[in-house]
Structure 1
């Protein structure tokens, strides 16, 4: 494993000191792409070189999975509704009337989406931290590369301005003016990816995976992870969601699938040193939730803090990896071409995605 060292630190007027172990400024004072900068044209060519069969895999769950809100009480399934046309629902709408002989029958709809309900990307505006970026001894809410809450990432103060809108024309009251998901979309998100098949080694039971366990799997399967690779973790969790057919049981899901131990310092150091550009899992958060003992301090989501806040590593969650992982293992392979852009939705802090693997 090796990582290409970016140019020297480019200090930003937004911060005087950066978090320990972070790469703020390494890709430029105003960088909003983070480690996606490592997905270069060379990485795209490396991904294309992994295409031998011309076979494709859809890595997205149906976007109405998991179903309900047992997995996350704040997020709800998508709502599909027809648009309105001449005072009528625009679904199976017949253009013909008494004044014409048109034969068209039209359907047109809209969607109300919780953007991180199903298969998704986290943007770098998804998780920030209280950190003394000013160097004055007073921590303030900041995000990757020192972008500021209330200035670069804005939102409402009133509960009435959050949640589902009372009307379809309600104005937007929040936006990531920096670090929004559109920055990721504009980079296309295509390159070489690596599958780490945790399920094949650890089974389907809930397991916390730290550095030592992960290294044993990587060594056993002779995996090589290089700078700019996107790393996928197969746990089987998404299969359990599909089996529950949109009626998820939290009691059942809490016992299924491996999770990374975000409190393991060795694991976090490996994420830094490996140079991986994105970290993706088929479970709900990549890392274990809850993350373990904190003594009432520090980040509740330490791997999210390390990846999104410190290093600018986008996280993918709730991907459907089993068919691909099974095929790769049968073929004795672990690398593939991944194409996975999010929605180019300015200001969004997360996005659904329909990733495609090509082998």
Structure 2
């Protein structure tokens, strides 16, 4: 459906489906079939171990135009239906004169960033399934009030690799995918063919659903309740390709969840089964325009999370270099 065919934010039409439904038993079988526990040392870097120095060199060599495209949303301090936990930003110094000069201006920022409004990275300790983190570590032993002793964001460090944009609205000729619309394995394969790109080992794969454009044109909605994103049946394709990172302009999961009793099944599969860190809430509109103009959908991708010992993730400002 094109962007002109609806005029209110919220759930899409009846044709925008998050299904088919997946039973808990089917999901558990899928989890077992894709998990990579015991594969890497160090385990708490998970799939980032795939990004070797040779892959970095090849990714850097892909740069053609030198165009740098940022992908972070603005720091969001305003409450809204898609921002239930606004970030903080206030000034702590307003030109107080030092002795001697100059005067100084300082500020403070903070965020409970695991929501729908801050561009952030999810580390492997962010999600447990059936009480277990990635690699079979027991969550209650690995994470406590002081932070995580396994799978923390401080174990990851910066990632420099090949990025691939799966621009589904561009493929379909629409402004955005409707909230609640699932992206299936077949859509991933069709996007590769249409965009002339193939997802490979060590890649950072970014899904554009058009969430940011829809929000700009129609207004914000509660994307935690209903949003476009991956169906669990797309995960085996991405797992077979050996990706290192998965990101989206939403939080990667289609919502409502199609899996009975599992509210974020793609999070569970990526983080807890595959050891693939996630990027949530990217702004992919500028990258969509830049890749369409360039005629290619692969690029050098760079993201550097904050070095927070024990942290479950980090606000980030990733960039693509075409």
Q: TM-score, normalised by structure 1?
A: 0.74
- Would the aligned equivalents of 2:88 and 2:108 in 1 still touch at CA under 8 Å? no
Q: Give the CA deviation at 1:27.
A: 0.6
Count of paired positions: 286
Q: How far apart are the structure 2 equivalents of 1:324 and 1:309?
A: 29
Q: How far apart are the structure 1 equivalents of 2:91 and 2:71?
A: 26
- Would the aligned equivalents of 2:168 and 2:177 in 1 still touch at CA under 8 Å? no
- Would the aligned equivalents of 1:123 and 1:349 in 2 still touch at CA under 8 Å? yes
1:95 maps to what in 2?
98
2:87 maps to what in 1?
77
CA separation of 1:47/1:113 partners in 2, compared to 1, >3 Å: closer, same or farther? same
In the alignment, does 2:169 pair up with 1:199?
Answer: yes
In the alignment, does 2:212 pair up with 1:238?
Answer: yes
Q: How far apart are the structure 2 equivalents of 1:240 and 1:342?
A: 28
1:5 maps to what in 2?
none
Q: Give the CA deviation at 1:58.
A: 1.0
Correspondent of 1:261 among 207, 226, 231? 231
Q: Residues 227-259 of structure 1: CA distance to partner in whole angstroms, max 9, x if unpaired?
A: 101111112212344557xx73338x977x742
1:324 maps to what in 2?
287
Q: Give the CA deviation at 1:95.
A: 2.7
Q: Give the CA deviation at 1:222.
A: 2.7
In the alignment, does 2:248 pair up with 1:286?
Answer: no
In the alignment, does 2:237 pair up with 1:270?
Answer: yes
CA RMSD of aligned residues (A): 2.3
Gap runs ≥5 in structure 1: 1-17, 83-89, 97-101, 131-140, 156-173
Gap runs ≥5 in structure 2: 1-30
Q: TM-score, normalised by structure 2?
A: 0.82
CA separation of 1:293/1:26 partners in 2, compared to 1, >3 Å: closer, same or farther? closer
Q: Residues 151-198 of structure 1: CA distance to partner in whole angstroms, max 9, x if unpaired?
A: 21113xxxxxxxxxxxxxxxxxx301211111122xx21111111111
- Show the 5 A alignment for 1:22-33: 22-28=35-41, 31-33=43-45
Correspondent of 1:57 among 69, 73, 89? 69
Is the partner of 2:193 in helix, strand or coil? Answer: helix
Question: Greater helix percent: which structure?
Answer: 2
Moved more, 192-201 or 102-111: 102-111
Q: How far apart are the structure 1 equivalents of 2:75 and 2:83?
A: 15
Runs (4+) off by over 6 Å: none
